[in-house]
Amino acid sequence: MGDYPQLEININHLIHNTKVIKEKCEEFGITVTGVFKGISGDLKVAEAFLKGGLTSLASSRLEQIEAARNAKLEAYMILIRIPMISEAYDVVRLSDCSLQSEIEVIKELNKEAEKQHKVHDIILMADVGDLREGYWDYDELDDVAYYIENNLKNIHLKGVGTNVGCYGSVAATKETLEKLISIAENVERRIGRKLEIISGGASSSLLRIWDKDMPSRINHLRVGEAIILPQDLEWHYGYDMSEMYKDCFRLKAEVIEVKNKPSHPVGTLSVDAFGHTPTYIDRGIRKRMLLGLGRADYSMLEELLPMDEGLELIGASSDHTICDIENAKKEYKVGDIVEFDMNYAILLFVSNSKNVKVKYLI
Ligand SMILES: *Cc1c(COP(=O)(O)O)cnc(C)c1O
Protein backbone atom coordinates (compact mmCIF):
# COMPACT_ATOMS: atom_id res chain seq x y z
CA MET A 1 0.00 0.00 0.00
CA GLY A 2 1.23 3.51 -0.77
CA ASP A 3 1.73 6.39 1.61
CA TYR A 4 -1.36 8.45 0.71
CA PRO A 5 -3.71 9.85 1.82
CA GLN A 6 -1.55 10.79 4.74
CA LEU A 7 -1.89 12.65 7.99
CA GLU A 8 1.47 14.12 8.92
CA ILE A 9 1.91 14.84 12.63
CA ASN A 10 4.75 16.99 13.91
CA ILE A 11 5.53 15.63 17.36
CA ASN A 12 8.14 18.25 18.32
CA HIS A 13 5.73 21.05 17.52
CA LEU A 14 3.07 19.38 19.65
CA ILE A 15 5.53 19.11 22.54
CA HIS A 16 6.32 22.82 22.19
CA ASN A 17 2.62 23.76 22.12
CA THR A 18 1.95 21.64 25.19
CA LYS A 19 4.72 23.45 27.09
CA VAL A 20 3.35 26.86 26.14
CA ILE A 21 -0.15 25.99 27.36
CA LYS A 22 1.16 24.32 30.51
CA GLU A 23 3.33 27.30 31.47
CA LYS A 24 0.60 29.87 30.77
CA CYS A 25 -1.84 27.91 32.92
CA GLU A 26 0.71 27.39 35.70
CA GLU A 27 1.03 31.17 36.09
CA PHE A 28 -2.64 31.13 37.08
CA GLY A 29 -2.35 28.09 39.36
CA ILE A 30 -4.08 25.89 36.82
CA THR A 31 -3.22 22.26 36.08
CA VAL A 32 -3.89 21.07 32.55
CA THR A 33 -5.11 17.64 31.53
CA GLY A 34 -4.26 16.78 27.91
CA VAL A 35 -7.30 15.66 25.96
CA PHE A 36 -6.41 13.31 23.12
CA LYS A 37 -9.85 12.41 21.76
CA GLY A 38 -9.57 15.05 19.00
CA ILE A 39 -6.92 12.97 17.21
CA SER A 40 -8.92 9.77 17.79
CA GLY A 41 -6.71 8.66 20.66
CA ASP A 42 -3.39 8.79 18.79
CA LEU A 43 -0.85 7.49 21.30
CA LYS A 44 2.14 9.41 19.94
CA VAL A 45 0.17 12.61 20.42
CA ALA A 46 -0.80 11.56 23.95
CA GLU A 47 2.88 10.85 24.59
CA ALA A 48 3.79 14.31 23.25
CA PHE A 49 1.44 15.84 25.84
CA LEU A 50 3.37 13.99 28.54
CA LYS A 51 6.73 15.00 27.07
CA GLY A 52 5.47 18.58 27.12
CA GLY A 53 5.11 18.24 30.88
CA LEU A 54 1.50 17.22 31.49
CA THR A 55 0.90 14.42 33.96
CA SER A 56 -2.75 13.63 33.24
CA LEU A 57 -4.56 12.59 30.07
CA ALA A 58 -8.23 12.50 29.17
CA SER A 59 -10.48 10.99 26.57
CA SER A 60 -14.18 10.61 26.00
CA ARG A 61 -13.64 7.00 24.96
CA LEU A 62 -12.60 4.14 27.20
CA GLU A 63 -11.08 2.36 24.20
CA GLN A 64 -8.57 5.21 23.84
CA ILE A 65 -7.75 5.17 27.53
CA GLU A 66 -7.26 1.41 27.38
CA ALA A 67 -4.85 1.78 24.45
CA ALA A 68 -2.88 4.40 26.40
CA ARG A 69 -2.71 2.04 29.39
CA ASN A 70 -1.59 -0.84 27.19
CA ALA A 71 1.11 1.41 25.72
CA LYS A 72 2.28 2.03 29.29
CA LEU A 73 1.78 5.79 29.18
CA GLU A 74 2.28 6.87 32.77
CA ALA A 75 -0.49 9.36 33.49
CA TYR A 76 -3.51 10.03 35.66
CA MET A 77 -6.35 9.06 33.26
CA ILE A 78 -9.65 10.92 33.22
CA LEU A 79 -12.74 9.76 31.36
CA ILE A 80 -14.45 12.95 30.19
CA ARG A 81 -17.65 11.64 28.69
CA ILE A 82 -20.31 10.87 31.28
CA PRO A 83 -20.08 7.06 31.25
CA MET A 84 -22.74 4.61 30.28
CA ILE A 85 -23.84 2.62 33.32
CA SER A 86 -23.00 -0.49 31.29
CA GLU A 87 -19.36 0.66 31.21
CA ALA A 88 -18.98 0.80 35.00
CA TYR A 89 -16.58 -2.15 35.22
CA ASP A 90 -14.24 -0.70 32.59
CA VAL A 91 -14.48 2.86 33.91
CA VAL A 92 -13.08 1.68 37.22
CA ARG A 93 -10.63 -0.71 35.63
CA LEU A 94 -9.18 1.80 33.17
CA SER A 95 -9.60 5.35 34.44
CA ASP A 96 -8.45 7.01 37.66
CA CYS A 97 -11.14 9.65 37.52
CA SER A 98 -14.36 10.31 35.61
CA LEU A 99 -16.88 13.10 35.09
CA GLN A 100 -20.31 12.27 36.47
CA SER A 101 -23.88 13.53 36.55
CA GLU A 102 -26.09 10.56 37.53
CA ILE A 103 -26.20 9.07 41.03
CA GLU A 104 -27.24 5.58 39.77
CA VAL A 105 -24.05 5.45 37.74
CA ILE A 106 -21.94 6.68 40.65
CA LYS A 107 -23.44 4.00 42.92
CA GLU A 108 -22.63 1.36 40.32
CA LEU A 109 -19.06 2.66 40.11
CA ASN A 110 -18.82 2.46 43.89
CA LYS A 111 -19.79 -1.24 43.75
CA GLU A 112 -17.28 -1.90 40.98
CA ALA A 113 -14.53 -0.01 42.79
CA GLU A 114 -15.18 -2.09 45.91
CA LYS A 115 -14.88 -5.29 43.87
CA GLN A 116 -11.67 -4.06 42.24
CA HIS A 117 -10.26 -2.84 45.59
CA LYS A 118 -9.94 0.71 44.35
CA VAL A 119 -11.08 4.18 45.21
CA HIS A 120 -12.34 5.89 42.05
CA ASP A 121 -12.16 9.68 41.82
CA ILE A 122 -15.03 11.63 40.34
CA ILE A 123 -15.73 15.19 39.28
CA LEU A 124 -19.39 16.15 39.51
CA MET A 125 -20.48 18.16 36.51
CA ALA A 126 -22.62 21.28 36.80
CA ASP A 127 -24.40 22.57 33.71
CA VAL A 128 -23.91 26.33 33.75
CA GLY A 129 -25.82 26.93 30.52
CA ASP A 130 -24.30 25.04 27.60
CA LEU A 131 -26.94 22.32 28.07
CA ARG A 132 -24.92 19.20 27.42
CA GLU A 133 -23.92 17.19 30.51
CA GLY A 134 -24.22 18.10 34.18
CA TYR A 135 -26.65 18.95 36.97
CA TRP A 136 -28.98 21.79 36.13
CA ASP A 137 -30.52 21.67 39.62
CA TYR A 138 -27.62 22.72 41.87
CA ASP A 139 -29.45 21.68 45.06
CA GLU A 140 -29.58 18.17 43.64
CA LEU A 141 -25.84 18.39 42.96
CA ASP A 142 -25.28 19.41 46.62
CA ASP A 143 -27.38 16.47 47.84
CA VAL A 144 -25.53 14.03 45.61
CA ALA A 145 -22.17 15.36 46.82
CA TYR A 146 -23.29 14.96 50.44
CA TYR A 147 -24.54 11.44 49.75
CA ILE A 148 -21.28 10.39 48.07
CA GLU A 149 -19.18 11.89 50.84
CA ASN A 150 -21.06 10.02 53.54
CA ASN A 151 -22.11 6.77 51.92
CA LEU A 152 -19.85 5.72 49.08
CA LYS A 153 -16.57 4.47 50.49
CA ASN A 154 -14.98 3.60 47.17
CA ILE A 155 -15.77 6.89 45.46
CA HIS A 156 -13.75 10.02 46.18
CA LEU A 157 -15.38 13.31 45.27
CA LYS A 158 -12.39 15.14 43.88
CA GLY A 159 -14.15 18.20 42.63
CA VAL A 160 -16.76 19.84 40.48
CA GLY A 161 -16.49 20.90 36.89
CA THR A 162 -18.34 22.28 33.94
CA ASN A 163 -18.25 22.20 30.19
CA VAL A 164 -19.20 25.04 27.86
CA GLY A 165 -18.90 25.77 24.16
CA CYS A 166 -19.92 22.32 23.00
CA TYR A 167 -23.67 22.28 22.40
CA GLY A 168 -24.98 25.67 23.42
CA SER A 169 -22.00 27.68 22.08
CA VAL A 170 -21.82 29.30 25.52
CA ALA A 171 -18.60 31.28 26.10
CA ALA A 172 -16.42 30.68 29.15
CA THR A 173 -16.88 34.20 30.49
CA LYS A 174 -15.72 35.33 33.93
CA GLU A 175 -19.37 35.35 35.11
CA THR A 176 -19.99 31.81 33.88
CA LEU A 177 -16.88 30.51 35.65
CA GLU A 178 -17.79 32.41 38.82
CA LYS A 179 -21.12 30.58 38.75
CA LEU A 180 -19.19 27.29 38.82
CA ILE A 181 -17.10 28.52 41.75
CA SER A 182 -20.19 29.42 43.74
CA ILE A 183 -21.64 25.95 43.01
CA ALA A 184 -18.34 24.42 44.21
CA GLU A 185 -18.32 26.53 47.37
CA ASN A 186 -21.86 25.43 48.22
CA VAL A 187 -20.71 21.82 47.91
CA GLU A 188 -17.72 22.58 50.14
CA ARG A 189 -19.98 24.04 52.84
CA ARG A 190 -22.25 21.01 52.60
CA ILE A 191 -19.50 18.40 52.87
CA GLY A 192 -17.33 20.40 55.25
CA ARG A 193 -14.08 20.31 53.29
CA LYS A 194 -12.33 21.91 50.36
CA LEU A 195 -12.58 20.32 46.94
CA GLU A 196 -9.28 19.55 45.26
CA ILE A 197 -10.44 20.42 41.77
CA ILE A 198 -12.62 23.07 40.23
CA SER A 199 -12.44 22.18 36.56
CA GLY A 200 -13.35 25.21 34.50
CA GLY A 201 -13.77 23.73 31.06
CA ALA A 202 -11.83 23.09 27.88
CA SER A 203 -9.79 25.11 25.37
CA SER A 204 -12.37 27.88 25.22
CA SER A 205 -11.69 28.64 28.91
CA LEU A 206 -8.07 29.50 28.06
CA LEU A 207 -9.35 32.86 26.84
CA ARG A 208 -9.69 33.87 30.49
CA ILE A 209 -5.96 33.27 30.86
CA TRP A 210 -5.15 35.20 27.71
CA ASP A 211 -7.33 38.07 28.98
CA LYS A 212 -5.90 37.68 32.53
CA ASP A 213 -9.35 37.55 34.14
CA MET A 214 -9.52 33.90 35.16
CA PRO A 215 -11.37 33.60 38.49
CA SER A 216 -8.75 32.47 41.01
CA ARG A 217 -10.40 29.31 42.32
CA ILE A 218 -10.49 27.63 38.90
CA ASN A 219 -7.50 25.30 39.16
CA HIS A 220 -7.98 22.77 36.38
CA LEU A 221 -8.70 22.74 32.64
CA ARG A 222 -9.09 19.89 30.16
CA VAL A 223 -7.37 20.98 26.97
CA GLY A 224 -7.02 19.35 23.57
CA GLU A 225 -7.84 21.70 20.72
CA ALA A 226 -5.67 24.64 21.85
CA ILE A 227 -2.59 22.42 21.90
CA ILE A 228 -3.21 20.55 18.68
CA LEU A 229 -4.84 23.30 16.60
CA PRO A 230 -3.98 26.68 18.18
CA GLN A 231 -5.08 28.29 14.91
CA ASP A 232 -8.67 27.51 15.98
CA LEU A 233 -8.34 30.08 18.77
CA GLU A 234 -7.25 32.66 16.21
CA TRP A 235 -10.06 31.80 13.79
CA HIS A 236 -12.83 31.55 16.35
CA TYR A 237 -11.87 34.25 18.83
CA GLY A 238 -9.25 36.41 17.11
CA TYR A 239 -6.46 35.64 19.60
CA ASP A 240 -2.79 35.88 18.70
CA MET A 241 -1.32 32.38 18.91
CA SER A 242 1.99 33.24 17.27
CA GLU A 243 3.95 31.64 20.13
CA MET A 244 2.60 28.27 19.06
CA TYR A 245 3.06 26.06 16.03
CA LYS A 246 0.04 25.95 13.75
CA ASP A 247 1.40 23.22 11.51
CA CYS A 248 1.21 20.22 13.83
CA PHE A 249 -1.06 18.44 11.34
CA ARG A 250 -1.10 18.36 7.56
CA LEU A 251 -3.37 16.24 5.42
CA LYS A 252 -1.70 15.12 2.18
CA ALA A 253 -3.44 13.65 -0.83
CA GLU A 254 -2.20 12.44 -4.20
CA VAL A 255 -3.37 13.76 -7.57
CA ILE A 256 -4.89 10.92 -9.62
CA GLU A 257 -6.25 12.80 -12.66
CA VAL A 258 -5.69 16.23 -14.27
CA LYS A 259 -7.95 17.24 -17.20
CA ASN A 260 -9.86 20.06 -18.82
CA LYS A 261 -13.58 19.38 -18.45
CA PRO A 262 -16.90 21.25 -18.58
CA SER A 263 -18.04 22.69 -15.24
CA HIS A 264 -21.67 21.73 -15.81
CA PRO A 265 -22.53 18.01 -15.95
CA VAL A 266 -23.57 16.75 -19.36
CA GLY A 267 -26.74 14.66 -19.73
CA THR A 268 -30.03 14.37 -17.83
CA LEU A 269 -29.44 15.25 -14.16
CA SER A 270 -30.66 12.84 -11.50
CA VAL A 271 -28.90 12.43 -8.10
CA ASP A 272 -25.25 12.44 -6.94
CA ALA A 273 -23.41 9.81 -4.84
CA PHE A 274 -25.32 10.82 -1.72
CA GLY A 275 -28.79 11.12 -3.26
CA HIS A 276 -28.79 14.89 -3.71
CA THR A 277 -29.07 17.06 -6.80
CA PRO A 278 -26.83 20.10 -6.25
CA THR A 279 -26.95 23.10 -8.54
CA TYR A 280 -24.00 23.28 -10.91
CA ILE A 281 -22.82 26.60 -12.29
CA ASP A 282 -21.67 26.59 -15.91
CA ARG A 283 -18.30 28.31 -16.00
CA GLY A 284 -17.29 26.73 -19.29
CA ILE A 285 -14.34 24.39 -19.72
CA ARG A 286 -12.07 24.46 -16.63
CA LYS A 287 -8.86 22.80 -15.61
CA ARG A 288 -9.52 20.42 -12.73
CA MET A 289 -7.95 17.55 -10.90
CA LEU A 290 -9.02 14.54 -8.85
CA LEU A 291 -7.46 13.55 -5.52
CA GLY A 292 -7.37 10.07 -4.04
CA LEU A 293 -9.30 10.78 -0.88
CA GLY A 294 -12.93 11.57 -0.22
CA ARG A 295 -15.79 12.00 2.18
CA ALA A 296 -15.10 8.58 3.68
CA ASP A 297 -11.94 10.18 5.07
CA TYR A 298 -12.95 13.71 6.03
CA SER A 299 -16.75 13.81 5.80
CA MET A 300 -17.09 17.56 5.30
CA LEU A 301 -15.56 18.91 2.06
CA GLU A 302 -16.48 22.50 2.92
CA GLU A 303 -14.15 22.45 5.94
CA LEU A 304 -11.00 21.26 4.18
CA LEU A 305 -8.39 24.02 3.94
CA PRO A 306 -6.05 23.73 0.92
CA MET A 307 -2.60 25.25 1.48
CA ASP A 308 -2.73 26.39 -2.18
CA GLU A 309 -5.27 29.18 -1.93
CA GLY A 310 -5.92 29.15 -5.66
CA LEU A 311 -7.21 25.61 -5.43
CA GLU A 312 -10.99 25.43 -5.35
CA LEU A 313 -12.78 22.40 -3.94
CA ILE A 314 -15.81 21.81 -6.10
CA GLY A 315 -17.09 18.42 -5.04
CA ALA A 316 -16.45 15.04 -3.50
CA SER A 317 -17.79 11.52 -3.37
CA SER A 318 -16.76 8.83 -0.88
CA ASP A 319 -13.29 8.32 -2.33
CA HIS A 320 -12.69 11.21 -4.75
CA THR A 321 -12.17 14.93 -4.23
CA ILE A 322 -12.62 17.20 -7.25
CA CYS A 323 -10.64 20.46 -7.41
CA ASP A 324 -10.85 23.33 -9.88
CA ILE A 325 -7.24 24.37 -10.52
CA GLU A 326 -7.80 27.05 -13.14
CA ASN A 327 -6.39 29.64 -10.65
CA ALA A 328 -4.07 27.36 -8.69
CA LYS A 329 -0.59 28.62 -7.74
CA LYS A 330 1.01 25.44 -8.98
CA GLU A 331 1.01 23.53 -12.26
CA TYR A 332 -0.34 20.19 -10.99
CA LYS A 333 0.34 16.83 -12.57
CA VAL A 334 -0.57 13.24 -11.76
CA GLY A 335 1.36 11.95 -8.74
CA ASP A 336 1.76 15.39 -7.11
CA ILE A 337 0.94 15.75 -3.43
CA VAL A 338 -1.59 18.35 -2.32
CA GLU A 339 -1.54 19.61 1.26
CA PHE A 340 -4.36 20.72 3.51
CA ASP A 341 -4.57 22.40 6.87
CA MET A 342 -7.57 21.42 8.92
CA ASN A 343 -9.91 22.33 11.70
CA TYR A 344 -11.03 20.21 14.66
CA ALA A 345 -13.80 18.40 12.78
CA ILE A 346 -11.60 17.39 9.85
CA LEU A 347 -8.77 16.29 12.14
CA LEU A 348 -11.23 14.15 14.09
CA PHE A 349 -12.54 12.42 10.95
CA VAL A 350 -9.19 12.06 9.21
CA SER A 351 -7.46 10.62 12.26
CA ASN A 352 -10.32 8.16 12.63
CA SER A 353 -10.20 7.02 8.98
CA LYS A 354 -8.67 3.61 8.37
CA ASN A 355 -7.56 4.76 4.90
CA VAL A 356 -5.38 7.64 6.06
CA LYS A 357 -1.79 6.67 6.89
CA VAL A 358 -0.22 8.52 9.78
CA LYS A 359 3.34 9.77 9.43
CA TYR A 360 5.14 11.24 12.43
CA LEU A 361 7.79 13.91 12.14
CA ILE A 362 9.90 13.34 15.23
C1 LIG B 1 -13.72 17.38 24.39
C2 LIG B 1 -13.77 17.80 25.81
C3 LIG B 1 -12.76 18.58 26.34
C4 LIG B 1 -11.61 19.11 25.53
O5 LIG B 1 -12.05 20.04 24.58
P6 LIG B 1 -11.01 20.85 23.68
O7 LIG B 1 -11.89 21.84 22.98
O8 LIG B 1 -10.40 19.86 22.74
O9 LIG B 1 -10.01 21.49 24.54
C10 LIG B 1 -12.83 18.90 27.69
N11 LIG B 1 -13.84 18.48 28.47
C12 LIG B 1 -14.86 17.72 27.98
C13 LIG B 1 -15.94 17.29 28.89
C14 LIG B 1 -14.86 17.36 26.63
O15 LIG B 1 -15.87 16.62 26.16
> Atom 2 in ligand 1: which residue has the minimum CA distance?
202
Q: Could you read off the pLDDT of 254-291 as tens digits, one per residue?
A: 999 999 999 999 999 999 988 898 899 999 999 999 99
Residues in the chain: 362
Question: Contact at 8 Å (CB) between 202 and 177?
Answer: no
Expressed in angstroms and rounded, the spacing between residue 63 Cα and the centre of ligand 1 is 17
The predicted structure's pLDDT at residue 1: 84
Expressed in angstroms and rounded, the spacing between residue 220 Cα and the centre of ligand 1 is 12
% of the chain residues with pLDDT over 70: 100
- Write down the catalytic residue from 19, 22, 24, 37: 37
Specify whether 37 is catalytic: yes
Expressed in angstroms and rounded, the spacing between residue 270 Cα and the centre of ligand 1 is 42
Residue 167 has pLDDT above 90, yes or no: no
Give the residue-averaged pLDDT of 92-102.
Answer: 98
The predicted structure's pLDDT at residue 216: 96
What residue type is 161 in one-letter code?
G
Question: Residue 223 CA: which ligand 1 atom is closest?
Answer: 9
Confidence of residue 157 (pLDDT cuts 50, 70, 90): very high
Confidence of residue 108 (pLDDT cuts 50, 70, 90): very high
The predicted structure's pLDDT at residue 253: 98
Give the residue-averaged pLDDT of 139-152.
Answer: 98
60 lines ligand 1 (CB under 6 A): yes
Q: Could you read off the pLDDT of 220-231 as tens digits, one per residue?
A: 999 999 999 999
Expressed in angstroms and rounded, the spacing between residue 12 Cα and the centre of ligand 1 is 22
Expressed in angstroms and rounded, the spacing between residue 62 Cα and the centre of ligand 1 is 15
Question: Residue 60 CA: which ligand 1 atom is closest?
Answer: 15
Q: Could you read off the pLDDT of 21-54 as tens digits, one per residue?
A: 999 999 999 999 999 999 999 999 999 999 999 9
223 lines ligand 1 (CB under 6 A): yes
Question: Residue 226 CA: which ligand 1 atom is closest?
Answer: 9
Expressed in angstroms and rounded, the spacing between residue 41 Cα and the centre of ligand 1 is 13
Task: Using most ligand atoms within 8 A of CB, pick from 30, 79, 80 the residue to mutate for ligand 1.
Answer: 80
Q: Could you read off the pLDDT of 72-88 as tens digits, one per residue?
A: 999 999 999 999 999 99
The predicted structure's pLDDT at residue 172: 93
231 lines ligand 1 (CB under 6 A): no
Task: Using most ligand atoms within 8 A of CB, pick from 166, 180, 235 the residue to mutate for ligand 1.
Answer: 166
Task: Using most ligand atoms within 8 A of CB, pick from 163, 199, 229 the residue to mutate for ligand 1.
Answer: 163
| Helix 103-115 × helix 138-151 angle, to 10° | 20
3-state secondary structure string across the chain: CCCCCEEEEEHHHHHHHHHHHHHHHHHCCCEEEEECHHHCCCHHHHHHHHHCCCCEEEECCHHHHHHHHHCCCCCEEEECCCCCHHHHHHHHHHCCEEEECCHHHHHHHHHHHHHCCCCEEEEEEECCCCCCCCECCHHHHHHHHHHHHHHCCCEEEEEEECCCCCCCCCCCCHHHHHHHHHHHHHHHHHHCCCCCEEECCCHHHHHHHHCCCCCCCCCEEEECHHHHCCHHHHHHHCCCCCCCCCCCEEEEEEEEEEEEEECCCCCCCCCCCCCCCCCCCCCCEEEEEEECCCHHHHCCHHHCEECCCCCEEEEECCCCEEEECCCCCCCCCCCCEEEEECCHHHHHHHHHCCCCEEEEEC
% of the chain residues with pLDDT over 90: 94
The predicted structure's pLDDT at residue 263: 94
pLDDT, mean over the chain: 97
Expressed in angstroms and rounded, the spacing between residue 222 Cα and the centre of ligand 1 is 6
Question: Contact at 8 Å (CB) between 180 and 160?
Answer: yes
> Atom 5 in ligand 1: which residue has the minimum CA distance?
202
The predicted structure's pLDDT at residue 284: 97
Task: Using most ligand atoms within 8 A of CB, pick from 30, 35, 59 the residue to mutate for ligand 1.
Answer: 35
